[in-house]
Amino acid sequence: MRERLTRFFASRWGIILAGAVIGILAPLLQFLGNPPNMGICVACFERDIAGALGLHRAAVVQYIRPEIIGFVWGSTIAALLFREFKARAGSAPIVRYFLGMFAMIGALAFLGCPWRALLRLAGGDLNAILGLAGLAVGISIGVLFLKSGYSLGRTARTHMAVGWITPIFMGLLFLLLLLRPQFSKDGPIFFSTSGPGSLHAPLIISLVFGLLIGFLAQRTRFCTMGALRDVILMKDTHLISGVGALLVVAFIVNLILGQVRFGFAGQPIAHSSHLWNFLGMALAGLAFALAGGCPGRQLFLAGEGDGDAGLFVLGMITGAGFSHNFSLAGKPDAVVEGALQVGGLTTFGMVAVLFGLVACLVIGFTMRERA
Amino acid sequence: MAKTVDARGLSCPQPVILARKAIAEGEFPIEVLVDTVTSRENVRRMAEKAGYKVRVEEMGEEFKLILNR
C-alpha cells in the first residue's frame, strides 16, 4: 500500500494532483479571510510570524500564521508515515542562514514568494509577470553556478534531536498563537488589528489546509523553484507540471469565487515598480537556487528532519525582521485622493537588493568544487 | 569497469547533475550512490528519460542505481 502510494506521488499525476489541491485550497483561504491574492505566501507569512514575535514592529503585519506551522507538521507526518524522516545537517549552515535572509529581502521587495507570485497572477495581478520573469533569471544564474560545480557540501546523518528542532519550534509557535501571552506591556505576542496581519482565515482551517498541503508537498517534492530550475537545467518538466496545475486551478477557482481583477496598478498588497519587482525576485530566485529549494520546499525539508533547511527558514524569519526594521520591504501602490501613487522600494531597499545579489554571486562563485 | 558516482549527502540537483556528467563521459555501467528516496527517484527519472536502463539496489538506508545502455 505504502509502496503504491509512494509511486503515485512520485509520478506526474501525483504532483499535478498536489498542485491542483493547492490551487483549490489557497484561493479558498483567501475567500475565508486571508489577505487578497495572498491565500498562501511563505515569505509574507514568515514575515507576519516575525512581526508577531516582535522581531519587527510593523503593526499591520503581525500574526502567527498557522499555514506555516501546518506546512512543517504536514511534512513531518508524511515523512514519519512513509519512513522518510531523517535527521541530517552540516551542509554550510551559516551560508544557508544568510541565503534565507537574502531570499526574504528579495521576496519582500516584490511583496511575495514564488507561491504568491503564482497566486497573484491567478488573481489577475500582472505585476507577477515581472516577478516570475525575475525569478526565472535568478534561477538561471543559479543553474550556471550549479553546472560549474557549485555545491554547499554534503549533509550528514545526525542525532534525532537535530531533526526535531524545527517541528518542535513550530509547536512552540502554535502554543504562542493559542495562548496569546503578552510578555511585557506593549510587547509581543502581537496580533495585528488592522492591515494584512489582521486578515486571516479561521485558525483551524488555516492549520488543516496547511497540514494537507505539507503532506502532499512532502510526498511529491513540490518545489516552485525546482520547477523552473529543472526546465532550464535539463528540460525536465516534472516539477513544473505541478506548478502549472496550481496556476491553472487557482485561476479557475478565483474566477468562480470572483477574486480576479486584471491589471498592473493598484493591485492588492502589491506595487507596480516593475524594475524592483523583477530584481527582488531575481535575488530571491538566485538565493533559492543556491539553497536548493523554494521557501515552501525548505519548510517541507525542515519537517522531514533537515536541520540545514530549518536554518534557511530561520534566516527568512529573521531576515523579515531586518527587512521591516531597516525599511527594506516594498511598499504597496496606494490611491491617494483619486491619484495613483506607485509603491516600491526605499533607497535602503534598493541598496539591499543589489547587495544581496552581489553577495549571492560571491557565494556562487566561491563555493565551487573543481571536478 | 564500473564508474561510481558518490552522490550521498548531496542535495538536489547535485545527484542528477553528477549522474548526467558521468553519462556524458560514456563509460558504462555507471553506479550512482544516493541516500534519499528523492534523489533515487530524480536520478531514475532522468536516466530513464534519456533512454538508459536503471536497476536499483537497496543497501540499508542508501540506494545504488546501476545505469546501463
ipTM field: 0.95
DSSP H helical segments within chain A, as ranges?
Answer: 2-10, 12-31, 42-52, 66-81, 93-110, 114-122, 127-147, 160-179, 203-220, 224-234, 238-257, 274-291, 295-303, 307-325, 347-366
Q: What is the pLDDT of residue A203?
A: 98
**Which string of b and e fits B20-44 if b means at least 16 CB within 10 Å?**
bebbeeeebebebbbbbbbbbbbbb
pLDDT in tens, A61-72: 999 999 999 999
Sign of CA dihedral A276, A280, A285, A286: positive
Does the pLDDT value for residue A371 go beyond 60?
Answer: no
Say whether A292 and B11 touch across the interface (CB within 8 A): yes
Say whether A146 and B17 touch across the interface (CB within 8 A): yes
Cβ distance A38 to A108 under 8 Å? no
Cross-strand partners of A334: A341
Alpha-carbon gap, residue A138 to A289, rounded angstroms: 8
Chain A positions touching B16 (Cβ under 8 A) are: 234
Does the pLDDT value for residue A257 go beyond 80?
Answer: yes
Nearest by CB: A151 against B14, B16, B36: B14
Does the pLDDT value for residue A360 go beyond 90?
Answer: yes
pLDDT in tens, B26-35: 889 999 999 9
Of A134, A65, A69, the C-alpha closest to A300 is A69
Nearest by CB: B46 against A91, A221, A234: A234
Cβ distance A35 to A269 under 8 Å? yes
pLDDT in tens, A297-335: 999 999 999 999 999 999 999 999 999 999 999 999 998
Closest chain A CA to residue B13: A292
Alpha-carbon gap, residue A230 to A135, rounded angstroms: 14
**Which string of b and e fits A255-276 if b means at least 16 CB within 10 Å?**
eeeebbeeebebbbbbbbbbeb
CA angle A14, B63, A83 (to 5 degrees): 55
Q: Which three cell numbers stand for residue B40?
A: 533515487
Cβ distance A13 to A239 under 8 Å? no
- Nearest-neighbour CA in chain A from B53: distance (Å): 18
The mean pLDDT of A174-182, rounded to a whole number, is 98
Cβ distance A189 to A197 under 8 Å? no
Q: What is the pLDDT of residue A136?
A: 98
Chain B positions touching A146 (Cβ under 8 A) are: 13-14, 17
Say whether A86 and B14 touch across the interface (CB within 8 A): no
- Nearest-neighbour CA in chain B from A86: distance (Å): 9
Among A140, A144, A238, A312, the strongest candidate for a mutation testing the B interface, having the largest count of B CBs within 10 A, is A238
Does the pLDDT value for residue A370 go beyond 80?
Answer: no
Closest chain A CA to residue B11: A292
Does the pLDDT value for residue A168 go beyond 60?
Answer: yes
Helix (H) or strand (E) holding B31: strand B30-34
Cβ distance A90 to A313 under 8 Å? no
A 10 A CB-CB count for A208 gives: 16
The mean of the pLDDT values for chain A is 97
Percent of chain A exceeding pLDDT 70 equals 99
Q: What is the pLDDT of residue B1?
A: 58
Does the pLDDT value for residue A191 go beyond 70?
Answer: yes
Residue A140, burial from CB neighbour count under 10 angstroms (0-12, 13-18, 19+): middle
Does the pLDDT value for residue B2 go beyond 80?
Answer: no
Percent of chain A exceeding pLDDT 90 equals 97
Say whether A234 and B16 touch across the interface (CB within 8 A): yes
Among B12, B16, B43, B46, the strongest candidate for a mutation testing the A interface, having the largest count of A CBs within 10 A, is B12
Chain A positions touching B10 (Cβ under 8 A) are: 151, 154-155
Chain A (215-244) residues lying within 8 Å, Cβ to Cβ, of chain B: 221, 226, 229-230, 233-234, 236, 238
Does the pLDDT value for residue A367 go beyond 70?
Answer: yes
pLDDT band at B51 (very low <50, low <70, confident <90, very high): very high
The mean of the pLDDT values for chain B is 93
- Nearest-neighbour CA in chain B from A364: distance (Å): 14
pLDDT in tens, A103-162: 999 999 999 999 999 999 999 999 999 999 999 999 999 999 999 999 999 999 999 999
pLDDT band at B11 (very low <50, low <70, confident <90, very high): confident
Alpha-carbon gap, residue A196 to A50, rounded angstroms: 14
Q: How many beta-carbon pairs under 8 angstroms link A with B?
A: 44
| Residue found under cell 518545489 | A223
| Coil, helix or strand at residue A265 | coil
Cβ distance A41 to A111 under 8 Å? no
Chain A (142-171) residues lying within 8 Å, Cβ to Cβ, of chain B: 146-147, 151-152, 154-156
Of A17, A24, A40, A31, the C-alpha closest to A249 is A24
